[in-house]
Amino acid sequence: MRRLSLLDTSLRDGQKSLGINLNVNEKLEISRQLVKLGVDVIEAGYPAASPVEFEAVRKIAREVKGVVICGFAGANEREIDCCAAALKEAGRSRIHTGIAVSPLYMEKKLQLTPGRVVELAVAAVKHAKKYVDEVQFYAEDAFRSDRAFLVQVLERVIEAGATVINIPDTLGYATPWECSEMISYVMNNVRNIQRAVLSVHCHNDLGMATANSLAGIKAGAGQVEGTINGIGERAGNTCLEEIIMTLYSRRGSIGIQCGAKTRELAATSRLVSRLTGVPIPAHKAIVGSNAYTGNPASLGEIGPGENAPFVIIAPDTVGLPEDDGVLQIQLGPQALQQRLDKLGYSLNKEDLDLVYQYFLHSADSKGAVYDQELRELMGEAGVEQRGILIKNISITTTGASRATATVTLDLDGDTVTEAACGTGPVDAVFKAVDLLVGERVCLEDYMLKSVGRGRETLGDATVKVRYGDNGLVIGRGVSSDVIEASARAYANALSKVKTMIRENAAQARV
């Protein structure tokens, strides 16, 4: 079987999703899980974009081994130098540089002639080659380029030393048959293409990123680029979990394999969702909470030449338990750990203690906790470790639309209390938290949904806040009390804002 290489760009292209602000440690944690999952290349970031981004790539390069660490750089010496510096301590490293090749982009975005674009492309690859053996070249907006020009650019950059050629559908504009045709065209017309690996990088603007990528892979691409849960700007990138499971489930007919351990998919997906604050829709393919409901898993799954009519994937193949188990309140931390293990979470002792406290708190008010609720608690426990913890909330309401909230927080170890009035209880709580934390943010969006079953369910709140010019920050909170869930979500968003401020200040001193 032909072997496909997986490049994960969750930390570079995926991070461009509105509201995602991962700190360096979160990026490290995701990188380590990506190694467990078995991706071949981690695109860790764009070092020239900011000092924080540089530091993240440098740390990942230094600490994450057993995988190629790739950094992104525009086609100029400054960005390539910066990228190379960030990658210096990597075991194996790759620089991903490139330039736009469509008439529209060359004219309007770059204001360069095609001749100049070729010169810059060649110079960039040659410069990157001074630092690393593996140089990946991207031909931005390739699908709207002139084919003869594209062939010319690719031949020249391969001659200059590019080892991977990325053909991105930058705007998510292509169809599967065009992707297939494009990869075939490049393979048949670029004279020295056998010296490089072709890569597909698709976007989901028309909902076809996975289909487009697979078409490119089938036509001969040796590498696919994507993100976990499909995070990314606009409609997102190709979902790596969908590619991995399609190759696995249909291995008999596709005949291409990758090095991923499918059983790590659930844990990877949950971790990325928890740390980015981007929830996974219930119906999401492969990793959604409803994706396997009603499947009689005991019938097995479709393998090569098999015929199992009721199920195409058994949930444990992606690392999910087959039943939605119930945990009773009397369970000790060990039983909780076993259940979390089964659900795909691995925790250190400290984190387990914290989650156990949440579990007891939740089980106390409800009597039992379902797996789905446990997952939500995991998200909650994970995000609440950072800085701001809600200790107590009391609300008094007067008349139709006035409320007073008294909120007690644990703020970096100090216990502080403040009261505020608002148009309703949630508004009053947010105002009290604002007073306590002292950061000026603007609430852009607020969502509340329920998880679990029946009336004794959990409230899951998501808030989006805007801070300065740094864009949107997402916070999530879960509790059996919806006001508390809302407060936790808001506190979570403010924790992230504070981390952002701290990281930026730390960078400014260097």
Report the 10 Å Cβ neighbour count for 293.
11
Cβ proximity to Mn ion: between 13 and 134 the closer is 13
Task: Report in angstroms the alpha-carbon separations of 81 from 129, 165, 291, 335, 391.
Answer: 11, 20, 45, 51, 48
Q: What are the tokens at 215?
A: 């078409």
Nearest to 126 by CA among 92, 162, 93: 162
Q: How far is the CB of 225 from Mn ion (least distance, A)?
A: 8
Residue nearest Mn ion, Cβ-based: 13
Contacts of 372 (CB under 8 A, 6+ apart): 289, 324, 451, 452
Q: How far is the CB of 58 from Mn ion (least distance, A)?
A: 23
Cα–Cα distance between 53 and 370 in angstroms, integer?
A: 38
Cβ proximity to Mn ion: between 8 and 13 the closer is 13
Cβ proximity to Mn ion: between 72 and 356 the closer is 72
Cβ proximity to Mn ion: between 13 and 26 the closer is 13
Q: How far is the CB of 51 from Mn ion (least distance, A)?
A: 23
Cβ proximity to Mn ion: between 138 and 490 the closer is 138
Task: Report in angstroms the alpha-carbon separations of 416 from 23, 143, 455, 482, 502.
Answer: 26, 57, 33, 22, 21
Q: How far is the CB of 359 from Mn ion (least distance, A)?
A: 39
Q: How far is the CB of 138 from Mn ion (least distance, A)?
A: 9
Q: Which 1-60 positions form the footprint of Mn ion (CB under 5 A)?
A: 13
3-state helix, strand, coil in the chain (%, to 5): 45, 25, 30
How many DSSP H helices and E strands does the chain contain? 16, 18
Count residues binding Mn ion (CB under 5 A).
1
Q: Do the beta carbons of residue 108 and residue 102 sit within 8 Å?
A: no
Q: How far is the CB of 231 from Mn ion (least distance, A)?
A: 11
* Residues 413-452: x where in contact with Mn ion by CB under 5 A, - otherwise, as a string: ----------------------------------------
Cβ proximity to Mn ion: between 239 and 381 the closer is 239
Q: What are the tokens at 238?
A: 């190709």
DSSP per position, 412-437: TTEEEEEEEEESSHHHHHHHHHHHHH
Q: How far is the CB of 201 from Mn ion (least distance, A)?
A: 6
Cβ proximity to Mn ion: between 96 and 431 the closer is 96
**Which positions touch Mn ion (CB under 5 A)?**
13
